Chains A and B, each alone.
Chain A
């Protein structure tokens, strides 16, 4: 409960029984906050963040403690290796494919772009597919089978259409990996081993870049055509599938989210984990992720990194060809060598990255940023100096530096979100990195290269390199708070479920610690707001105090940057407004809350349409509205825009009669209306409240509001300044003066 100084202490004698009950319910929510604080430090350690210089346990020991084997890492790494085969073969053998099939080079490049787009956007539907049911192991097998078949079938393609189909299948299946592999890995291994697991997974992926060129060279030496190469690669891909059959999905957050939830019950000595009743939908999760400061910045960093990474290897291949005179075989060896350096780098990074993460997860990003900047500078040095051997060495070193970005960014991204949102976070990573960054990089640097040549193109990579580095460094300071926020959310969620399952009664609506910003401008600061069943509360305050913004947060039109909104115990903070309507929250917005171009009856029908009510029931409800407001019946066929202000508010209020919400939020009901009209409307508001609907009344008119309610809130400058009995608010001259002065000032202006 927030009661801000200054002001005299609130006399408790003025509180009614009803208010006492509301505050009792609020106390339970405060208890939740206490539990959260008590468990936070332990929770951090559970997530592998010790905050000290202690060394992580050896990998073998960390795995043995949790009875985990390297099998998931091995299998997913193996899939990662064979995943590179089709892509590498296609890019290398494009000229041969073009001449064999009689397909123009431009067409093949276009097909490559289509494949890239398929790969960039495939993770999103995959994330949607796994969001409720952890069947990622099966999907890993299916996607691997799909790209194995696509690889094999590439060898049989005889026309553009066939080639397009296999490329799209390959793009979809291999692209969706980003929503599957890393989230599955992070759930398969304890936090104490994850950075190393991600590093080794990255190293195995890099091994694919070593193996693929060597295999292509070997098969070419043995006389295989490009078709033969794809058939052999397809057979290799198919042959690894049986190895994946024992892969199992451990469920979401086995070693983190679930443990945090279990800790809540352990603290209170019970052992029943609760089930989610209100789980977020796909787009709600995506929208929620985009509100996390680290993720917002990381996604921009991914896009900038993609800007560098996507054209880098292409520009480098042309540079090796035209400036250093490297033929295909030499280029293959060069890329195999640089990938081998990346493997060594990743193997060395694992333990060091783990220690960094334990001490300070944000530092992992800062170090990654420094390495990205150094990598960008080394590219410029490599092409500026005249010695080929030094150039190769510098490019190899760059490859080693850039290789650690994958695990560093991946572990940070996936550690700060609850387990069930990880596929979505990983999918966004793929979209921003390969999709946004990759496409922008191909277009922008293609233009730079054609104007300034290959050297100019490579030098221009310094810009995204340094830009990305600065972004990553700036992300560092948000990681720890976001990790704590995630811990807090999980603990709070579980604690509230525990309380409600144990028979504890929470207030119907409980908003806690709400922060809200319009862009960079924060307008709500740590706002608590509670409404109990059947209660009518007034939300008062000066203009610009944040009242309407708070209503937006409650009804789901605006999403907070911090804090939670709970409705009947369920967390609805990030639920869509439409779903909140179905749960029973309805808002009558300020101003004229009607559809002007529709008639009165069409407006009333539209309220029913949103609930999917059948026509017969709806007709009865509309009759109720006409009975409550006879004036509306007289004007049933008039356009809503032609109604008077009072009639429009009547029509707006009819929404509650049709939708029968549990919580009705009314913004500025009396604004600009004659007193007699206001009185009519207030009668109806009381009637609606009498049927059991809780009402939040936002009013400029203190007299009107306080004549209706027992419980009042007062907001000023985005903060909740008063929460208590309406009568007590009337005694608070320090608060009300601002409203009256504002009102007086308006009258003077008039």
Chain B
């Protein structure tokens, strides 16, 4: 079979296909237009929620201890420093620039609440925790390894034991900023991961 001759035949086959495409040009164009419209709409909707989103890392808080991925023992002290942020007592009436005054919440092996929410939102799904009984209080939160503090350090006598027995326990601590009313400020979350070596292990 000669290649050139074959190619010419092939060309005819393709031209048939191409002719078919022209007939469907309108449909393809409409599909492309709908896709472009959807993309544009998505972009517009995206821009609607762009306010308040953090596209750069918030570096106001630095965790000093423990070092990332270090091996630690109990009791464990987590220490940090912060700048451009006035630390006040929880519930304080102190005023200041929005997002620049408040307290800290510390989570051990846990996920913080959504931005703008209080720690109480974490107990929403717990029917046994009734706001009328003052729940969630500090004790309730501590039982779930969540702590609120106006200090720049916190010491743990114990850390939660993982369900599977391992010689090395992986833990992480996440610190977020709360405003004086206890609402999470922005999306910032500061995080350190470390390995706990229990005595006798």
Contacts and interface: CB of A to CB of B under 8 A. Distances in A.
Interface in A236-290: 250-252, 254-255, 258-259, 261-263, 265-266, 271, 273, 275
A721 interface: no
Nearest to A139: B31
A100 B189 contact: yes
B16 A325 contact: no
Contact of A155 (B20, B55, B113): B55
Contact of A145 (B6, B39, B59, B111): B39
A220 B32 CA distance: 35
A64 interface: no
B48 to A, nearest CB: 9
Interface stretch (B7-15, B79-87, B130-138): B7-15
A747 interface: no
Contacts of B164: 450
A142 B112 contact: no
Interface string A150-184: 00110110110010000000000000000000000
B92 interface: no
Interface stretch (A72-80, A223-231, A680-688): A223-231
Given A142-B31, A149-B42, A158-B49, A273 B13 contact: yes
Interface residues of B, number: 54
B32 A142 contact: yes
A149 B111 contact: no
A42 interface: yes
A39 interface: yes
Interface string B89-107: 0000000000000000000
Contacts of A158: 49, 53, 115
B10 A259 contact: yes
Contacts of B36: 145
B143 interface: no
A257 B88 CA distance: 76
A133 interface: yes
A7 B111 CA distance: 85
B54 A225 contact: yes
In the complex, which of the residues B3, B6, B31, B32 has the most CB atoms of chain A within 10 Å of its own CB atom? B6
A228 B56 contact: yes
A462 to B, nearest CB: 24
B5 interface: yes
B26 interface: no
A271 B14 contact: no
A1 interface: no
A456 interface: no
B46 to A, nearest CB: 4
B147 interface: no
B142 interface: no
A96 B5 CA distance: 61
Contacts, number: 145
B10 A153 contact: no
A301 B151 CA distance: 59
Contacts of B201: none
Contact of A153 (B42, B68, B174): B42
A444 interface: no
A265 B9 contact: yes
A254 B58 CA distance: 55
B13 A258 contact: yes
A271 B176 CA distance: 75
A635 to B, nearest CB: 52
A513 interface: no
In the complex, which of the residues B7, B17, B55 has the most CB atoms of chain A within 10 Å of its own CB atom? B55
Nearest to B18: A251
Nearest to B54: A225
Interface string A207-243: 0000000000000100111011001000000000000
A224 B46 contact: no
B21 interface: yes
A352 to B, nearest CB: 25
Contact of B35 (A96, A98, A105, A146): A146
Contact of A99 (B1, B8, B55, B191): B191
Given A99-B189, A156-B50, A261 B9 contact: yes
Interface string B22-53: 00100010011001100100110011011001
A47 B42 CA distance: 45
12 contacts: A42-B1, A65-B3, A66-B7, A98-B111, A142-B35, A149-B42, A251-B13, A251-B18, A254-B10, A262-B13, A273-B12, A327-B68
Interface of B: 1-3, 5-10, 12-14, 16-18, 20-21, 24, 28, 31-32, 35-36, 39, 42-43, 46-47, 49-50, 53-59, 68-69, 111-115, 117, 164, 168, 170, 174, 176, 184, 187, 189, 191
